[in-house]
Structure 1
Amino acid sequence: MNLSSAFDDFLLAKQADGCRPKTILWYRSLLAPFVAGREDRPLASISVWECREYIVGLRSQTEKYVGAPQRPTLAGGFSDETVRGHVTALHSFWNFCAREYEIVNPMRNIRRPPAPPRRQPRAIAPADFVRLFNATRDDDAGIRDRALLV
């Protein structure tokens, strides 16, 4: 089994599992760069070191959106969250391959990056709060709206 065929099988399996079209697109967009140039390689020939080198390459990017039709190329590397998404997609793909084709999973010893800390919601500026509060009406709905604001 080569990498390209396994990639197609993986996407088909995700569709059969009921994943939404946007999820399939997410997997396709994150895994396609890994598959590119390796399409004809046998699955078993992909090593843990090749996966690690790919991840290091993601972390050392100096431009993002290269070749993306929807955005211009921008200076700057990928965020930690973007790299985490790529690693998560690779784990999912190789777990599938290990189950389906009974191969050794090259990602099994590669840790997922930790999830970023949750951001605290930003508070509204006091002047904006006063404007919003004063914009409520003097009817039942306005009383409810003021109660929600406070």
Structure 2
Amino acid sequence: MTGRTPTAAADGAGTGHQPAPALRRALRGYLDHLTVERGLAANTLVAYRRDLDRYLNSLAAAGVSDLAAVPAGEIERHLARLRAGDDGHPPLAASSAARAASAVRGLHRFALREGLAAADPSRDVRPPTPPRRLPRALSLDDVVRLLDAAGPVQAAGDTAPLALRDRALLEFLYGTGARISETVGLAVDDVDLTDAVVQLRGKGGRDRLVPIGGYAMQALGAYLVRARPGLVAAGRGTPRVFLNSRGGPLTRQGAWMILRRAAERAALPVDGPQAVSPHTLRHSYATHLLDGGADVRVVQELLGHASVTTTQVYTLVTVDRLREVYATAHPRARD
């Protein structure tokens, strides 16, 4: 994770300034810290590296060669340029700029702890606040149409293995609220069909046991018994539950395409802001649980959220639903 990325090289070439060795050493140390001690996910590390390479190039262009000499004003100017766009880079959305600000602040906190700087100039720099977006959740009728479009639970014929897999995959996503990464990483030993529970291996090494509903159990059982053995025979014997047509582990992209095809057949949106995605099923799972009366802290545990604050955004969706029902059902709700 410490090699120079193509993006970083291009950024440096674009500015005509190369970060000083002291800046590069500090960045390598910080990324090593995130990898070894914090255990950040690979995708997060890639994003942090890209953000921080751009930051170091910005410092180099400003003539700053050491983190100990960075003024707070330079950090603010860098973040403002991210939002406005510069040097061939399009403007960053508030959420991406907030992530970049978090990476920059983390680097400066690390430099202070490691004695690379006597102060943290980023301490009072406030990142932009991303606009709060309510999760998109499907109605129960739309979920049923989507699942039915994936394929029958008891498929037959030459296409049965993949039809059974597709139905089991989508039933599992909606029936457990699992993240797509947790689903494609699922091993056979993680599934207990006897007790109807699954062990999901979540972010930051936080594992959790989640019950599997009856519909998902039926679809998953049919796939594991009638389809997966044939797929395994075509491959190299991976322990993963969900396999591709060659018997190898199903990828995130492969799972997304299965969902996209089912959404198209169900006449649900596959493009634009309302497009159905694997995360849509997770949102729907949480929203439908809360609509059904589940306690928010139980939903937090099922989703694997570290903080209940993350889960509480779903309660806003539920309140909107309550308002909608009230407005249409109560005789004196409207003038």
Query: Does TM-score exceed 0.5, indicating one fold?
Result: yes
Q: How does 1:139-150 map to 2 (within 5 A)?
A: 144-145=214-215
Match of 1:123 in 2: 138
Q: Tell me whether 1:78 sits opposite 2:78 in the alignment.
A: no
- Alignment partner of 1:2: what SS? helix
Mapped contact 2:22–2:65 kept (Cα < 8 A): yes
Distance across 2 between alignment mates of 1:12 and 1:127: 45
**Percentage of identical aligned residues:** 18
Deviation at 1:90, TM superposition (A): 0.8
Q: How does 1:21-100 map to 2 (within 5 A)?
A: 21-36=42-57, 38=59, 41-61=65-85, 66=89, 77-100=91-114
1:16 aligns with one of 22, 36, 56: 36
Distance across 2 between alignment mates of 1:128 and 1:41: 55
- Alignment partner of 2:50: what SS? helix
Q: Tell me whether 1:110 sits opposite 2:112 in the alignment.
A: no
Per-residue Cα deviation, 1:26-80 (whole angstroms, up to 9, x for no partner): 211111101126467022211101101101101111797x4xxxxxxxxx52111
Mapped contact 1:3–1:38 kept (Cα < 8 A): no
Structure 2: gaps of 5 or more residues? 1-20, 154-213, 216-284, 293-335
Distance across 1 between alignment mates of 2:91 and 2:46: 22
Deviation at 1:86, TM superposition (A): 0.6
Question: Structure 1 49/133 Cα, relative in aligned 2: closer, same or farther at 3 Å?
Answer: same
Distance across 2 between alignment mates of 1:132 and 1:114: 36
1:7 aligns with one of 5, 24, 27: 27
Give the root-mean-square deviation of aligned CA atoms.
Answer: 3.7
4+ runs deviating over 6 angstroms: 133-137
Deviation at 1:114, TM superposition (A): 2.7
Distance across 2 between alignment mates of 1:131 and 1:29: 37
Question: Structure 1 13/62 Cα, relative in aligned 2: closer, same or farther at 3 Å?
Answer: closer
Report the count of equivalent residues.
Answer: 135
Larger displacement relative to structure 2 (26-35 or 1-10): 1-10
Question: Structure 1 127/54 Cα, relative in aligned 2: closer, same or farther at 3 Å?
Answer: closer
Structure with greater contact order relative to length (CA < 8 Å, sep ≥ 6): 1
**TM-score normalized by the length of structure 2:** 0.34
